[in-house]
């Protein structure tokens, strides 16, 4: 079983719909991250959290919100999806400030 | 925001040829990480470099961190088809808090 699990793995939705991507981890890590991947742009940080009461904006937080429900769960929401939010979304976990990140399998979102 | 430039964007090599990807920053880096993402997969941590001028090897992969801690390279000797994928550098900047910024990646294609 994967240590970092994302659901759904694939989702097609329409403009204006609310979408939630969920991430859960069994690694016991405090730090959790949401990244977005677009071809040629690498991975861009949307939000990150260092514990349940800590939420921080990343490079591209506009149009997104997050919730850290528990140490093991970090969800990403698109309140009103738009086509340019079509992308591959990755959740990641980490232990220390400069340590490696462990990525989930990704959630591919298509907004029509 | 903080940026890190990665070149080339694509590289197509014959199996057995060498490959190098470069990561450059205009600001001094705290450390640099390298990740590999296989086609259809998720990024997987390869290594972290911390010290000025540091060189680390993993079998056919050689990682270097520049003396000024503003650039890094990943060199693969005698590529194999299993090396196919996208290689990303990721950096913590000294002045950018806890954000890990990824380069745009270099996609390596190996012709057998």
User: What was the pLDDT predicted at B53?
Assistant: 97
Q: What's the Cα-to-Cα distance from B79 to each of B15, B22, B34, B76, B108, rounded to whole Å? A: 5, 17, 17, 6, 10
- Which residues in A lie closer than 8 A to residue B30 (C-beta atoms)? 98
Give percent of chain B with pLDDT exceeding 70. Answer: 93
- Which residues in B lie closer than 8 A to residue A101 (C-beta atoms)? 33, 35, 43, 45, 90, 100
What pLDDT, in 10s, does the model give residues B54-102?
Answer: 999 999 999 999 999 999 999 999 999 999 999 999 987 555 556 788 9
Distance from CA of A90 to the nearest CA of B (A): 8
User: What order of strands is seen across the sheet that includes strand B71-76?
Assistant: B4-7, B19-25, B71-76, B61-65, B55-58
What pLDDT, in 10s, does the model give residues A59-91?
Answer: 899 999 999 999 999 999 999 999 999 999 999
Give percent of chain A with pLDDT exceeding 70. Answer: 96
A111 Cβ contact list (under 8 Å, min separation 6): A13, A14, A15, A17, A81, A82, A83, A84, A85, A86
> Shortest CB distance from A106 goes to which of B42, B48, B102?
B42
Taking the C-alpha atoms of residue B63 and residue B45, their distance in angstroms, rounded to an integer, is: 13
Mean pLDDT score of chain A, rounded to an integer? 93
């Amino acid at each position: 079983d994967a240590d970092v699990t994302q659901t759904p793995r694939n989702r097609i939705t329409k403009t204006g719909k609310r979408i939630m991507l969920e991430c859960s981890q069994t690694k016991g890590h405090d730090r959790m991250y949401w990244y977005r991947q677009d071809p040629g742009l690498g991975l861009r940080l949307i939000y990150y959290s260092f514990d349940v009461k800590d939420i921080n904006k990343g490079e591209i937080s506009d149009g997104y919100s997050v919730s850290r429900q528990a140490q093991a769960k970090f969800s990403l929401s698109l309140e009103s999806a738009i086509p340019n939010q079509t992308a591959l979304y990755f959740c990641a976990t980490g232990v220390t400030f400069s340590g490696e990140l462990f990525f989930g399998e990704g959630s591919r979102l298509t907004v029509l | 925001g903080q940026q890190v430039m990665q070149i080339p964007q694509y590289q197509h090599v014959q199996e057995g040829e060498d490959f190098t990807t470069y990561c450059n920053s205009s600001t001094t880096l705290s450390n640099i990480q390298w990740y590999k993402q296989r086609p259809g997969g998720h990024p997987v941590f390869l290594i972290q470099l911390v010290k000025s001028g540091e060189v680390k090897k993993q079998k056919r992969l050689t990682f270097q961190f520049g003396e000024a801690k503003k650039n890094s390279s990943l060199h693969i000797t005698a590529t194999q088809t299993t090396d196919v994928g996208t290689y990303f550098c990721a950096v913590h900047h000294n002045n950018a808090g806890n954000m890990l910024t990824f380069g745009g990646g270099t996609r390596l294609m190996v012709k057998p």
